[in-house]
Amino acid sequence: MFSFSTTELQKVKIQLEQELFERVVPFWERHSLDITYGGYFNCLDQDGSVYDTTKHIWLQGRQVWMFAKLYESVHTEQKWLDIARLGAEFLRKYAKTEGNRVYFATDRQGRGKQIQRKIFSECFYAMALNQFGKVTGEFTYQEEAIELLEHIWTWSKDLRLIGQVSYPGVPPNQGLAIPMIMLNVFEEISGSNWSRYESEIHICINEILQHVDSERKIVFETVGLDGEFIDSIEGRMLNPGHAIEAGWFLQHWAQKLNDQSLQNRALAMVDWSFERGWDQDFGGLYYFLDSEGCPPTPLEWNMKLWWPHTEAMYAWALNYKLRRKESDWNNFMMTLNYSFDHFSDPVHGEWYGYLNREGMRTHQLKGGPYKGCFHVPRGLLYTIQCLEEIGD
């Protein structure tokens, strides 16, 4: 069993705490709050300047959840609760439509702009209200989240109910994203009372495991309905960061269920996806790969994005906590060092989101339609908590 000095562990923990509490969280506190209309500005330039007042609802929900989680997990900082309330009240007032659908985006005042034929806005709306109600004791928020979860689960089993169209030329398939997000939502909303959703949780776990090819040591984004390989652009696609995130989602449930087999499979998902996804020449995780070495078709396939690295950082810390392998710690430090060297902004705070393969920044924004107050602070917070447990 590999171990290192308490001094080294403490040094890394302090580095992460300084990043989270001195650079990342203050960036969103200073620049994202819309005191006039409620909610948050999420399209922010590198210095925090607002370049678009559109409010992307899934990011509004993520930010509510994040500040309520900080309030619960770190200390009861009143301003964090006030920030969470600013978003939670905006969501309840403007985000939901008739039929329990949730907008993907509204304008600054909360007037609807777009609804997707997906369930992610609904998922983060529910997670936000549940976490806010949990820390405030205002249980109507949690009750609404639980009610919405029933609709989300129904839609997740048949996306045609929310307008998705299936065409005869497309082979029946299932994506990794749906069981992943549903498993995460069940973890958040059920808390310690997860037995009420036991059947749904096991369905999600089994669906995720259908994407895992243990013989080839690959986690596929899209597979057939029984987990079979689909030899197409979509079927061969790998998303290393997504697979790593799915690995630690499963690991949380392996610990709750005390399931050693599931623990080992979750560990392996992180191992395999990182080994395939890490760029040996320039460092960092590729965004997409083709499992057979065919040309990846997404134009951004070899870019390095912020969120796979925050997911890998936490996943390696968790792996190390469970099996204490030197390679786990080395991979954790390699991911951490790459991330801090390339994404972190010591001048303005927060992280840049997009790099080319060589690690040069391609976008200066800190927030946009797909990057908000979530992956960076969540990854830092969870990693800090994990290092505390390792130290104990």
Domain boundary, last residue among 141, 165, 189: 165
Q: Give the count of alpha carbons within 13 A of 8, CB side only.
A: 7
Q: Are residues 155 and 267 in the same domain?
A: no
Mean pLDDT, rounded, for 239-258: 98
Residue 45 in domain: no
**Segment (H or E) for 117:** none
pLDDT at 53: 98
Q: CA distances (Å), 6 to each of 10, 20, 134, 322, in order?
A: 6, 21, 35, 17
The helix, strand and coil proportions of the chain, stated in percent and rounded to the nearest 5, come to 60, 10, 35
Residue 17 in domain: yes
Whether the pLDDT of residue 323 is over 80: the answer is yes
pLDDT at 12: 97
Residue 49 in domain: no
Dihedrals phi, psi of 247, to nearest 5 degrees = -60, -45
* Neighbour-count burial of 346, counting CB atoms closer than 10 A to its CB (0-12 exposed, 13-18 middle, 19+ buried): exposed
Residue 48 in domain: no
What share of the chain in percent tops pLDDT 90?
96
For 50-82, write each residue's pLDDT tens digit.
999 999 999 999 999 999 999 999 999 999 999
Helices (H) then strands (E): counts for the chain:
14, 13
Whether 321 and 314 have beta carbons less than 8 Å apart is answered as no
pLDDT at 5: 73
Q: Produce one character per residue of 23-61: b if its CB has 16 or more CB atoms within 10 Å, e if not.
A: bbbebbeebbbbeebbbbbbbbbbebeeebeebbbbbbb
Q: Are residues 93 and 70 in the same domain?
A: yes
How does residue 192 score in pLDDT terms, banded at 50, 70 and 90? Answer: confident
Residue 50 in domain: no
Alpha-carbon distance of 37 to 34, in angstroms, equals: 6
pLDDT at 93: 98
Q: Are residues 200 and 179 in the same domain?
A: yes
Pairing state of beta strands 354-355 and 212-213?
unpaired
Mean pLDDT, rounded, for 352-363: 98
How does residue 191 score in pLDDT terms, banded at 50, 70 and 90? Answer: confident
Q: State which amino acid sits at residue 351.
A: W
Q: What is the mean pLDDT of the chain?
A: 97
Phi-psi region of 350 (alpha: psi -120 to 50; beta: other; left: phi over 0): left
* C-alpha closest to that of 149 among 109, 105, 111, 197: 197
Q: Are residues 337 and 255 in the same domain?
A: yes
List the structure tokens of 20.
């989270």
CATH of residue 305:
1.50.10.10
Residue 39 in domain: no
How does residue 4 score in pLDDT terms, banded at 50, 70 and 90? Answer: low
pLDDT at 305: 98
Kindly write down the DSSP assignment for every residue of 252-307, as one continuous string: HHHHHHT-HHHHHHHHHHHHHHHHHHB-TTT-SB-S-EETTSPPP-STTTT-EEHH
Alpha-carbon distance of 283 to 308, in angstroms, equals: 13
Residue 116 in domain: yes
Q: CA distances (Å), 59 to each of 125, 174, 225, in order?
A: 9, 25, 30
Domain boundary, last residue among 131, 165, 199: 165
- 156 is in which domain, residue-wise? 56-165
pLDDT at 2: 64
Mean pLDDT, rounded, for 96-123: 97
How does residue 117 score in pLDDT terms, banded at 50, 70 and 90? Answer: very high
Q: Are residues 254 and 345 in the same domain?
A: yes
Q: Are residues 356 and 208 in the same domain?
A: yes
Q: Produce one character per residue of 69-95: b if its CB has 16 or more CB atoms within 10 Å, e if not.
A: bbbeebeeeeebbebbbbbbebbbebb
How does residue 350 score in pLDDT terms, banded at 50, 70 and 90? Answer: very high
pLDDT at 239: 98
- Total structural domains within the chain: 2
Whether 190 and 197 have beta carbons less than 8 Å apart is answered as yes
Q: Are residues 202 and 119 in the same domain?
A: no
Residue recorded with tokens 């089993």:
157
Whether 245 and 315 have beta carbons less than 8 Å apart is answered as yes
Q: Are residues 77 and 209 in the same domain?
A: no
How does residue 346 score in pLDDT terms, banded at 50, 70 and 90? Answer: very high
Domain boundary, last residue among 136, 165, 194: 165
Q: Are residues 228 and 286 in the same domain?
A: yes
Q: Are residues 335 and 363 in the same domain?
A: yes
Q: Are residues 218 and 178 in the same domain?
A: yes
Whether 31 and 356 have beta carbons less than 8 Å apart is answered as no
pLDDT at 22: 98
Alpha-carbon distance of 368 to 352, in angstroms, equals: 11
What's the pTM value of the predicted model, to 2 decimals?
A: 0.97
For 122-169, write each residue's pLDDT tens digit.
999 999 999 999 999 999 999 999 999 999 999 999 999 999 998 999
Residue 358 in domain: yes
Whether the pLDDT of residue 1 is over 90: the answer is no
Q: Are residues 346 and 259 in the same domain?
A: yes
How does residue 339 score in pLDDT terms, banded at 50, 70 and 90? Answer: very high
pLDDT at 136: 97
How does residue 298 score in pLDDT terms, banded at 50, 70 and 90? Answer: very high
